Amino acid sequence: MKVIVTTALRPSAKIMAMAQNLAAILQIPYVVRENHSIPMLKEIYKTDLLLIITQRGPVVTTPGGNFFFHLSMAQLRIKNIINGKHDHMAAAMDLKPGMSVLDCTLGLATDAIVASFVAGTTGYVKGIENSPLISAVTRYGLQNFADADSDIIQSLRRVEVETADYLKYLNNLSTDSFDIVYFDPMFRRPIQSSSNVKPLRYLADDRPLLPEAVAEACRVAKRRVVIKEAHNSAEFRKFPLTALQGGKYSSIHYGIIEISG
C-alpha cells in the first residue's frame, strides 16, 4: 500500500510543518504539492492513497472516497443518551460513570466517543488502532475537532489513542487493567447501508477477531468483554458468550462475556 503525504494548495507554514512531521512519524514520503491537482498527483506517484494535510485536518484519498475525521453517529447517540434513550453499546457494556474502557478497534472513534461521554470525567477510554493512517486521522480529530457542544468536545479530548495491534497491546497489560474491553472488528460481510465505513475499509486492518485475543481480553477486563458484530453473524459462535444483546430490528448485535469472580 503506497502512500504519500502532501498538503492542500497554497499551504501555510503550519500545514507544511504538520505534513512533514506526519511523513516522518508514519515513515512515508512527503511531496511538495506545487500546483498539482489530486488526479495529477495520483498519476505522478502511481497511487490512489494520498494523505493530504488541509486547514481542516488530514484527509486520506481512497478508491472508496475520502477518509477524514467526523462525528458520524456519535453526536446523535450522545443526544439520545442525554434525552434518556437507550444506547445498545453502552447497555451491552453496562457502562457507568467512572469506568474504564479499552476500545481495541478504534477506527473513527464513534463508539469510543460515546463510551467516553458515558464514562464521564472520572472515567477513562483508551483506543487502539492498528492502521497508522486511521490512527493519525482519528487522533487529530479527537484532539482538534471543535464543531459541537462542549460536553461532546470534552468527550473527544478524553479519548487516548495508541497505534498498535490489539493482541500485542493486550499481551502487555496486567490482569484486570480495564473495566470493559471492547471489539468492533471489520464485519466479514460489509453492511451496504454503512457508507461511512467505505473509505475506512481501504485503510483498515480487516483480519477477523480470534479467540486468542478474546481470551486475553477476558484476562484484562474486570467486568465485561463486548464484541460488536452483524446480527446473526457466525463469528459470535467462536467466542464463549454469556449473552447476546441488540435491538430487535437492528442489523448489529453485541456479544457479551461477563467476567465472574
User: Measured from the CB of residue 260, what is the shortest distance to ligand SAM in angstroms?
Assistant: 26
258 beta partners: 224
First-last CA distance in the chain: 45
Check residue 234 and report its DSSP letter. G
User: Measured from the CB of residue 135, what is the shortest distance to ligand SAM in angstroms?
Assistant: 8
Cell of 145: 475537532
Q: By CB under 6 A, name the one of 95, 161, 204, 217 that touches ligand SAM.
A: 204
User: Measured from the CB of residue 243, what is the shortest distance to ligand SAM in angstroms?
Assistant: 20
User: Measured from the CB of residue 90, what is the shortest distance to ligand SAM in angstroms?
Assistant: 13
Point out which span in 18-26, 30-38, 93-101, 201-209 binds ligand SAM (CB under 6 A): 201-209
DSSP string, 115-173: HHHHH-TT-EEEEEES-HHHHHHHHHHHHH---S-HHHHHHHHHEEEEES-HHHHHHTS
Cell of 103: 476500545
Closest CB to ligand SAM among 116 and 130?
Answer: 130
Check binding of 96 to ligand SAM (CB under 6 A): no
Residue of 149, 89, 148, 99 lying closest to 124 (CA atoms): 99
Q: By CB under 6 A, name the one of 108, 181, 214, 256 that touches ligand SAM.
A: 108
Check residue 62 and report its DSSP letter. E
Residue 151: count other Cβ atoms within 10 Å of its Cβ.
12
User: Measured from the CB of residue 152, what is the shortest distance to ligand SAM in angstroms?
Assistant: 15
Closest CB to ligand SAM among 43 and 212?
Answer: 212
Closest CB to ligand SAM among 159 and 257?
Answer: 159
181 beta partners: 102, 225
Closest CB to ligand SAM among 94 and 162?
Answer: 162
Point out which span in 75-83, 93-101, 125-133, 238-246 binds ligand SAM (CB under 6 A): 125-133
Point out which span in 42-50, 76-84, 170-178, 180-188 binds ligand SAM (CB under 6 A): 180-188
Closest CB to ligand SAM among 40 and 211?
Answer: 211
Cell of 252: 448489529
Q: Which amino acid is at 215?
A: A
3-class SS of residue 196: coil
Contacts of ligand SAM in 128-167 (CB under 6 A):
128-131, 134, 165-166
Point out which span in 21-29, 38-46, 106-114, 149-157 binds ligand SAM (CB under 6 A): 106-114
3-class SS of residue 232: coil
User: Measured from the CB of residue 39, what is the shortest distance to ligand SAM in angstroms?
Assistant: 27
Residue of 18, 5, 2 lying closest to 144 (CA atoms): 18
Name, in order, each residue with C-beta under 8 angstroms of 146's C-beta and a sequence gap of 6 or more: 153
Check binding of 207 to ligand SAM (CB under 6 A): yes
Residues found near ligand SAM in the complex (CB under 6 A): 104-105, 107-111, 128-131, 134, 165-166, 184-186, 200, 204-205, 207
